[in-house]
């Protein structure tokens, strides 16, 4: 085998040449292996628990995490060209201190370049990657392996491994123009996604509450991060009918009367809503005794807007409807 030609092709970015160059150097004993490889305990990539029993060591994952992964290991169509490029990238960044795991991933080229890929072989590649992830490889190599899994079609599995998916049972319901999500406590990345979709967490009921206007975003986030959801489609359909038939449904969730021509308004934070509120509702009017009568003021202790006068109450209802109740809903 012409190693000079392989080196030239590998430098030009040929994934197969990079793999063949590795195998040729391995055959010739030319790989720069460390005299003292890294030795450490094997750990589950998902939860970090040490693996001790033979079965857990063989699959690179403990019994509990494997139960989650094995039952949710849905497959999509793989991007083989992307898989080959990522495999070549792994070869270029191999850390020979982690020889045992690295060489197993390197030899996946046996499947990629010499076998006719089918579902059985793809599943075996997935199994070997999961096994290698338990060796505590450097973070850049772990990222490549996770990208490999995603390119193979295991995007849901990658979310589980990264703790970006909520596995336990979640339930969605609706009432008064609000979408409610009751679910196990999510990780930070999911919390940020929920808040980005306009959700507020209600501590007494331990539910995430989405204004009806945010139903589209809410549905996207729930479908993306929650794996076992009940009632989502039914709740969306009910919410859509509620907001269509009763335009003011849900307003009482945000607006409460506190006096004659006075209401309190409490909504999720929305900078556009606040800007328009200030633009459309004047601050107040100065009386003959130089005392101000305020049409709007913000109560920082309760985090509510106090709105006064009938015409301004009408305006705030329109703004709440516009920003929190009237945006397009997803179609069932």
Neighbours of 102 (CB within 10 A): 21
CATH topology of domain 166-245: MutS, DNA mismatch repair protein, domain I (3.40.1170)
Give the span between the Cα atoms of 45 and 130, in whole angstroms.
Answer: 8
Domain residue extents for the chain: 32-161, 166-245, 251-325
Residue-wise pLDDT tens digits, 24-68: 887 877 776 555 555 556 888 888 888 888 888 888 888 888 877
- For all residues of the chain together, what is the average pLDDT? 84
Residue 282 confidence (pLDDT) above 90: yes
Tokens (6 digits) for 304: 């509510």
pLDDT given for residue 75 in this prediction: 56
Residue-wise pLDDT tens digits, 59-103: 888 888 887 776 555 556 788 899 999 999 998 888 777 888 888
| Span 139-150, average pLDDT | 93
Q: What is the largest CA-CA distance in the chain?
A: 99
Residues 152, 112 contacting (CB under 8 angstroms): no
pLDDT given for residue 331 in this prediction: 40
Residues 98, 137 contacting (CB under 8 angstroms): yes
3-state secondary structure the chain: CCHHHHHHHHHCCCHHHHHHHHHHHHHHCCCCCCCCCCCCCCECCCCCCECCCHHHHHHCCCHHHHHHHHHCCCCCCCCHHHHHHHHHHHHHCCCHHHHHHHHHHHCCHHHHHHCCCCHHHHHHHHHHHHHHHCCCCCHHHHHHHHHHHHHCCCHHHHHHHCCCCEEEEEEEEEECCEEEEECCCCCHHHHHHHHHCCCEEECCCCEEEEEHHHHHHHHHHHHHHEEEEECHHHHHHHHHHHHHHCCCCCHHHHEEEEECCEEEECCCCCHHHHHHHHHHCCCEEECCCCCEEECEEEECCCCEEEEECHHHHHHHHHHHHHHHHCCCCCCC
Residue 170 confidence (pLDDT) above 90: yes
């Amino acid at each position: 085998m012409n190693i000079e030609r392989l080196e030239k092709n590998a430098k030009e970015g040929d994934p197969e040449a990079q793999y063949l160059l590795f195998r040729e150097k391995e055959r010739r004993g030319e790989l720069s292996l460390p005299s003292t490889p890294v030795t450490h305990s094997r750990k589950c990539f998902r939860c970090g628990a040490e693996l001790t029993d033979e079965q857990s060591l063989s699959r690179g994952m403990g019994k509990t995490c494997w139960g989650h992964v094995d039952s949710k290991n849905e497959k999509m169509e793989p991007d083989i060209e992307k898989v080959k490029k990522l495999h070549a990238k792994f070869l270029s960044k191999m850390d020979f201190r982690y020889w045992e795991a690295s060489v197993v991933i390197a030899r996946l080229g046996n499947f990629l370049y010499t076998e006719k890929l089918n579902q059985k072989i793809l599943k075996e590649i997935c199994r070997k990657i999961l096994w290698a992830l338990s060796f505590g490889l450097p973070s850049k190599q772990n990222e490549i392996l996770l990208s490999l899994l995603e390119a193979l079609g295991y995007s849901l599995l990658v979310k589980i491994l990264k703790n970006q998916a909520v596995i336990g049972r979640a339930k969605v319901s609706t009432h008064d123009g609000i979408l409610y999500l009751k679910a196990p406590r999510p990780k930070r990345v999911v919390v940020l996604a929920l808040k980005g979709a306009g959700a507020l967490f209600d501590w007494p009921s331990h539910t995430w509450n989405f204004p009806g206007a945010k139903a589209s975003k809410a549905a996207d986030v729930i479908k993306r991060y929650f794996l076992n959801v009940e009632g989502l489609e039914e709740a969306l359909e009910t919410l859509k009918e509620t907001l269509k038939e009763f335009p003011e449904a849900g307003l009482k969730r945000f607006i409460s009367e506190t006096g004659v021509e006075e209401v309190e308004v409490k909504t999720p934070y929305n900078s556009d809503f606040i800007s328009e509120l200030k633009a459309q509702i004047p601050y107040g009017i100065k009386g003959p005794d130089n005392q101000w009568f305020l049409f709007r003021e913000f109560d920082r202790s309760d985090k509510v807007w106090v709105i006064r006068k009938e015409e301004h109450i009408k305006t705030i209802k329109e703004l709440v409807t516009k920003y929190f109740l009237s945006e397009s809903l997803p179609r069932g």
